[in-house]
Amino acid sequence: MNKPVTTADAIVGPEEEQELLKQVVWPSHEPLAFLRRRGGLKRGYEADYERYHTPENVAVVARLLGPGGMHIIHFYKGMGLKHEAAEMERCYVLAREMHRRGLGVCVYIGGTMHTETMYADHPEARDWACVATDGGPVTYMMYQLWRHFACVNHPDYRAFMRGLCDLAIDRAEADWIWFDNNILRAEPRSCRCRHCRALFPRRVMAKYSEAERVERFGCADLGGIQPPAWSESWPPSRLHEISDPVVQEWIDFRCHSVRDFFGEMEAHIHRRKPDCIIALNIKGIHPHNLCFDNGIDHGRWDLRLVNSCDAGLAPDVGPRGNLIGEFRSFKISHTTALSVIDGHSDRGNLLGIVMNRQLHTERFGCVPANGQAMLTFGALGRFLKSRNDTLYGQRPIYADVAVLRSWPSMAYNGINWMHGPFICEQGLWEARIPFVIVFDRNLDDLARYRVVLLANQDALSDAAVDRLKAFVADGGGLVATDGTGRLDDWRRPRLVNAMTEALGLPTGARPARVRFGRGRAAYLPRLEAQTVFRAGEALRGSHADTALPPRNWRSVEAALRWAAGGAFRFVVRGPRQVAAEFREGPTPQDRVVHLMNFAAKPVRGRIQVDMADEGHGWTLKLDSPDPPPVRAPALTRARGRVTFALPGLKVYTACILRPAGARRRSIVGKDGPVRPGAHGVRP
Ligand SMILES: [Zn+2]
609 and 478 within one domain: no
pTM of structure: 0.94
Q: Which residues contact residue 553 at a Cβ distance below 8 angstroms, ignoring those fewer than 6 apart?
A: 427, 431
- The CA distance from 663 to 672, in Å, is 17
- The CA distance from 268 to 199, in Å, is 22
447 pLDDT more than 70: yes
CA 529 to centroid of ligand 1, rounded, Å: 37
CA 137 to centroid of ligand 1, rounded, Å: 11
CA 126 to centroid of ligand 1, rounded, Å: 12
CATH code, domain carrying 426:
3.40.50.880
125 and 173 within one domain: yes
CA 262 to centroid of ligand 1, rounded, Å: 15
**How large a percentage of the chain has pLDDT more than 90?**
85
- pLDDT grade, residue 662 (50/70/90)? low
Task: Identify the sign of the CA torsion 285, 289, 293, 296.
Answer: positive
CA 30 to centroid of ligand 1, rounded, Å: 26
Cβ atoms 5, 371 nearer than 8 A:
yes
451 and 585 within one domain: no
Is residue 680 in a domain? no
* Beta-carbon neighbours within 5 Å of ion ligand 1: 151, 153, 191, 193, 195-196
CA 192 to centroid of ligand 1, rounded, Å: 5
CA 205 to centroid of ligand 1, rounded, Å: 18
669 pLDDT more than 80: no
- What's the mean pLDDT in 397-412? 97
- The CA distance from 389 to 655, in Å, is 16
- More reliable by pLDDT, 254 or 629: 254
CA 150 to centroid of ligand 1, rounded, Å: 8
Query: Would you state the pLDDT for residue 11?
Result: 81
Q: How far apart are the first and last CA of the chain?
A: 29
CA 601 to centroid of ligand 1, rounded, Å: 50
SS3 401: strand
- What's the mean pLDDT in 348-374? 94
Which of 564, 580, 602 is a domain's end point?
564
671 pLDDT more than 50: no
Write out pLDDT tens, residues 327-348: 999 999 999 999 999 888 999 9
- More reliable by pLDDT, 319 or 559: 559
Query: Would you state the pLDDT for residue 8?
Result: 47
CA 291 to centroid of ligand 1, rounded, Å: 17
Query: Would you state the pLDDT for residue 667?
Result: 38
574 and 552 within one domain: no
Is residue 62 in a domain? yes
CA 206 to centroid of ligand 1, rounded, Å: 19
CA 306 to centroid of ligand 1, rounded, Å: 25
CA 101 to centroid of ligand 1, rounded, Å: 43
CA 123 to centroid of ligand 1, rounded, Å: 18
Which of 341, 360, 388 is a domain's end point?
388
71 and 201 within one domain: yes
Domain interval for residue 610: 570-659
CA 598 to centroid of ligand 1, rounded, Å: 42
CA 167 to centroid of ligand 1, rounded, Å: 25
Is residue 664 in a domain? no
CA 201 to centroid of ligand 1, rounded, Å: 13
Mean pLDDT of the chain: 93
The residue type of 309 is C
CA 199 to centroid of ligand 1, rounded, Å: 9
Q: What does each C-alpha distance from 296 to 255, 260, 405, 461, 538 come to in angstroms?
A: 5, 12, 13, 20, 19
| CB-count exposure of residue 536 (10 Å: 0-12, 13-18, 19+) | exposed
589 and 463 within one domain: no
Query: Would you state the pLDDT for residue 544?
Result: 83
Cβ atoms 448, 475 nearer than 8 A:
no
CA 87 to centroid of ligand 1, rounded, Å: 30
Write out pLDDT tens, residues 237-251: 888 899 999 999 999
CA 647 to centroid of ligand 1, rounded, Å: 58
400 pLDDT more than 50: yes
Query: Would you state the pLDDT for residue 536?
Result: 64
- What's the mean pLDDT in 448-472? 98
CA 452 to centroid of ligand 1, rounded, Å: 38
351 and 411 within one domain: no
CA-based R_g, the chain, Å: 26
Is residue 638 in a domain? yes
CA 264 to centroid of ligand 1, rounded, Å: 16
Query: Would you state the pLDDT for residue 535?
Result: 62
CA 261 to centroid of ligand 1, rounded, Å: 12
CA 151 to centroid of ligand 1, rounded, Å: 4
Is residue 671 in a domain? no
Question: Helices in 122-244 by DSSP H: which ranges?
Answer: 155-170, 194-207, 210-217
CA 409 to centroid of ligand 1, rounded, Å: 26
Q: What does each C-alpha distance from 115 to 78, 108, 136, 273 come to in angstroms?
A: 9, 19, 14, 31
673 pLDDT more than 60: no
CA 340 to centroid of ligand 1, rounded, Å: 28
CA 209 to centroid of ligand 1, rounded, Å: 26
Write out pLDDT tens, residues 609-661: 999 998 888 999 999 999 887 788 999 999 999 999 999 999 999 999 999 87
291 and 226 within one domain: yes
Report the number of distinct structural domains present in the chain.
3
Query: Would you state the pLDDT for residue 406?
Result: 97
668 pLDDT more than 70: no
- What's the mean pLDDT in 525-536? 84
1 pLDDT more than 60: no
- The CA distance from 580 to 365, in Å, is 26
CA 247 to centroid of ligand 1, rounded, Å: 16
Which of 564, 582, 597 is a domain's end point?
564
CA 226 to centroid of ligand 1, rounded, Å: 12
Of 260, 486, 274, 479, which Cα lies nearest the Cα of 363? 274
- The CA distance from 429 to 315, in Å, is 13
DSSP 434-491: -EEEEEGGGGGGGGG-SEEEESS--B--HHHHHHHHHHHHTT-EEEEETTTTSB-TT-
Cα angle 176, 179, 185; round to 5? 165
CA 244 to centroid of ligand 1, rounded, Å: 22
CA 161 to centroid of ligand 1, rounded, Å: 15
CA 190 to centroid of ligand 1, rounded, Å: 8
335 and 453 within one domain: no
Cβ atoms 282, 307 nearer than 8 A:
yes
Cβ atoms 565, 522 nearer than 8 A:
no
Is residue 560 in a domain? yes
- The CA distance from 366 to 498, in Å, is 42
646 and 517 within one domain: no
CATH code, domain carrying 340:
3.20.20
647 and 605 within one domain: yes
Cβ atoms 137, 130 nearer than 8 A:
yes
- The CA distance from 63 to 59, in Å, is 6
205 and 138 within one domain: yes
Of 38, 191, 195, 196, which Cα lies nearest the Cα of 114? 38
680 pLDDT more than 50: no
Q: What does each C-alpha distance from 358 to 145, 355, 364, 545, 591 come to in angstroms?
A: 37, 9, 11, 30, 18
Is residue 137 in a domain? yes
CA 187 to centroid of ligand 1, rounded, Å: 13
Is residue 286 in a domain? yes
CA 257 to centroid of ligand 1, rounded, Å: 9
CATH code, domain carrying 610:
2.60.40.1180
